Amino acid sequence: MSIYVCRREMGDDGPVKISAALAALLAAACGDDPPSTIEYGAMGSLTRPSGQGSFRFGAATAATQIEDMNPATDWYLWTQPVSEGGLGKGTFVGDAVKGYSKVDEDLALVQSLGLDSYRFSIEWARIEPVKDQIDEAALAHYRTQLETMKSMGIKPLVTLHHFSNPVWVMDPRDSACTSGPSATNLCGFGGPGGAMIVEEMGAHAALIAQRFGDLVDEWGTVNEPFIYMLAAYGIGNFPPGKNTILNLPAFLPAVRDYVAAHAAMYKAIKANDTIDADGDGNAADVGLSMSVASWHPSRGNMPSTNPDDVAAAERITYIMHYLFVDAALNGTFDGDVDGVPEEQHPEWANTIDWLGLQYYFRAGVSADRPLIPAPASLTPCIGGFDVGSCLPALDPTYCVPTMGYEGWSDGIEQIILDHAKRYPNLPLSVTEAGIATSTGKRRAENVVRVLEATERARAAGADVRGYYHWSLTDNFEWAEGYVPKFGLYAVDRSTFARTASEGATVFGEIAKSRTLTTAQRETYGGSGPMTPDPQFTNEFCTKP
Ligand SMILES: [Ca+2]
Ligand SMILES: [Ca+2]
Ligand SMILES: [Ca+2]
C-alpha cells in the first residue's frame, strides 16, 4: 500500500473528515511509496490457458435497459401506464435511451474509449415476440451490429437472458396462471410451465448460436440469476411480480428451473456455434455472470461478532454467490439451502467455461429477528431498507444515495479471492462494476479503485481476465427507473444526447494505454474518502 491515501487523510486536499472505521483501515495500509504504475497485457481468451495473464477492458449494457422500440418485453407491459394498457408499475421504460436506433452511435463511443470488448444482450422478446414466430428484421439488426463491431475490432460478449422475457413466457397480467400454461402464457419459472420455458430458452439459444456463431465466440447464458429470481419471484418488484421469499419451498422451484434453463442454453450454444470466429481454437466459450456483494455480520446497526450473525453472513454469501454456480458446475442442487446438495442433476454438470463477477456494494446482514425465515434465517440490509442490519459506511462518501447502498470498491478484492479459492479451475472476469452518480470524478474513482482492487487479487494469484464497466450510458435501472445514473456517458432523455463523463475520459486513457498510471492512482485511487455525491448521504447509506 502507499502513502497517497495517507496524504489525503492528513489533509493535502484540505481537511478530510473520515470515520473511525476508515481511519483504522488506513492506519494499517499506509506506507512510504507512491502507488506503482500498473501495466496490462493484451486481451486474451476468456477461457483457454493461454488467456491467463491477459486482460481486457470493456463496457456492459443490457437490451431492455437501453433499447427503444421494444414493446414485446414483459418490462414494457409491466411499466406501461395503465391508461395505455399496461400495468403501470414503477417508471415506464418507454424508449429507454434509444439504444436500438442509436446502436451505431453507441458503438462509436465504445470504439472511442479504446475498449477491447462490449458486453451487451440480445432481446429475446424482439427475436420471438410471439411464441414460435421469429422476427427476421430483429435478427438482421443484431447481425449488422455484430458486423460493425467486427469492423471496429470490438469483441462481442453476448448475454442471452438479462432480466427480461417475451410476455408469453410469463404474462404479468396473469401471474397466478389461472387457466394453466398456454402459448400466450407459459406461466413463469417454478410452475407447471417451467419445463416448457427451459425448452424454449434452449431453442432460442440454439437459434442465436446458429445465426451469429460466425461472429460471436463469447457467450453468457443468464445474468445475475439469484438477483433476478429474488426480484421477479421472491420480492416481486420485477415482472411477473411474484412474492414468495417468505416461503422458500415456493421460491426455490423457480431457482431450480432457472439453473436448468442455464444448462439448456449452455448445451444449445455449444451444439450450434461450431465456428471459431477469432481463430483462437474455441468456437464458443460459454459462461454466466453472478451478482456478488461484500456481506458483513451486523446487529443493532453495528458490526457483530455474534456467531449467529457471522453464520448469517456466510449463509447469504453462499446463497447469493455459490448455490447457483455449484449447481451448474457439479450437477447438484441444494434445495433446502443447508450448504449440502441433496439433489442430483448430472445434465447440468460442467456448464460453466468462465464466470463473471458483478460487484456494487458492501452491506450488513443479521440473524437477529430474521425477516427471511428458515432455512435462510437472516435480515439483509438491501435497497436501503434498514431494520437494524445496516452498518455505518466505512466512509460516508462511499454512500450511493440513489441506490441506498455503500459502494465500497475495495470489497471486490476479497470476493475475487474467495471465488478463486472455491473454483480454482474457473477463469474469472469482472463483467460489471460501476457506481450510480452524475459526478464524473466519482465514476473515475470507482473505475480506478475497482481496477486497483482487482489487480491486488490478480497479484495474489486470481485468474481474472478483464473488467467491464457498468454501464456505457445512463439507462433504465429496472425498478429504480431512470433516477440512478450509471453511464460513462450521461444521457439527456429529452434529446438522447450522450455526454462523456470524467469517468469515460479516465477509463479511455487507461484502456488505450493499457496502463493505470501513478498519477491516475494518486488522483482517483486508493482507499481514502471519495469525492462526495452532492445528493444527501447518511452514515448508513440508506435511501434519503
Ligand atoms: Ca463462434
Ligand atoms: Ca474463438
Ligand atoms: Ca441441502
Kindly state the helix (H) or strand (E) to which residue 449 belongs, with its residue range. helix 440-459
Ligand 2: centre distance to CA 218 (Å): 8
The helix-helix angle for 194-212 and 248-272 (nearest 10°) equals 30
pLDDT at 11 over 50: no
- Report the percentage of the chain scoring pLDDT > 70: 94
What are the strands, taking DSSP E only, across 102-217?
117-121, 155-161
- At 248 the pLDDT is 81
CA distance 446 to 475: 18
- At 95 the pLDDT is 98
Ligand 2: centre distance to CA 159 (Å): 16
Which ligand has its closest atom nearest to the C-alpha of 248? Answer: 3
pLDDT band at 5 (very low <50, low <70, confident <90, very high): very low
> How wide is the angle at C-alpha 87 spanned by C-alphas 184 and 240, nearest 5°?
55
Q: Give the C-alpha distances (Å, rounded to integers) separating 394 from 131, 209, 366, 407, 451.
A: 49, 45, 18, 10, 19
The total number of residues shown for the chain amounts to: 544
Q: Give the C-alpha distances (Å, rounded to integers) separating 288 from 6, 58, 313, 439.
A: 39, 16, 24, 31
Ligand 3: centre distance to CA 420 (Å): 23
Ligand 3: centre distance to CA 415 (Å): 23
Q: 527, 515, 541, 522: which is closest to 37 by C-alpha?
A: 515
DSSP conformation letters of 357-379 = EEEEEEEEEE-SS-SB-TTT-BE
pLDDT at 21 over 80: no
Tell me yes or no: is domain 35-524 CATH 3.20.20.80.
yes
Kindly state the helix (H) or strand (E) to which residue 332 belongs, with its residue range. strand 332-333
Kindly state the helix (H) or strand (E) to which residue 465 belongs, with its residue range. strand 464-470
Q: 432, 418, 226, 426: which is closest to 314 by C-alpha?
A: 418
- At 20 the pLDDT is 60
Q: Mean pLDDT throughout 207-233?
A: 98
Q: Mean pLDDT throughout 384-401?
A: 92
pLDDT band at 16 (very low <50, low <70, confident <90, very high): very low
CA distance 290 to 228: 10
- At 12 the pLDDT is 39
> Residues with beta carbon < 5 A to ion ligand 1?
213, 217, 273, 275, 277, 283
- At 1 the pLDDT is 33
C-alpha cell belonging to residue 333: 442442487
Q: Mean pLDDT throughout 212-222?
A: 99
Question: Quick check: 405 and 383 in contact, CB under 8 A?
Answer: yes
Query: Looking at per-residue confidence, does 130 or 29 come out higher?
Result: 130
pLDDT one-digit tens code per residue, 347-367: 999 999 999 999 999 999 999
Ligand 1: centre distance to CA 156 (Å): 11
pLDDT at 108 over 50: yes
pLDDT at 10 over 50: no
Ligand 2: centre distance to CA 452 (Å): 29
Ligand 3: centre distance to CA 140 (Å): 45
pLDDT one-digit tens code per residue, 225-283: 999 999 999 999 999 999 988 888 889 999 999 999 999 999 999 999 999 999 999 99
Q: Mean pLDDT throughout 413-421?
A: 98
- At 175 the pLDDT is 84
Q: In whole numbers, what is the pLDDT of the chain averaged over residues?
A: 94
For cell 458503438, what's the residue?
107
Question: What percent of the residues of the chain are helix, what percent strand, and what percent coil, each to the nearest 5?
Answer: 40, 20, 45
Query: Buried (b) or exposed (e) across 237-257, using 16+ Cβ within 10 A?
Result: bbbbbbebbeebeebbbbbbb
pLDDT at 146 over 80: yes
Which ligand has its closest atom nearest to the C-alpha of 50? Answer: 2
Which ligand has its closest atom nearest to the C-alpha of 274? Answer: 1
> Residues with beta carbon < 5 A to ion ligand 3?
334, 336, 338, 340, 342
pLDDT at 519 over 50: yes
pLDDT at 101 over 60: yes
Residue 107, Cα to own-chain centre: how many angstroms?
20
- Stated pTM of the model: 0.94
- At 24 the pLDDT is 57
Which ligand has its closest atom nearest to the C-alpha of 327? Answer: 3
pLDDT band at 384 (very low <50, low <70, confident <90, very high): confident
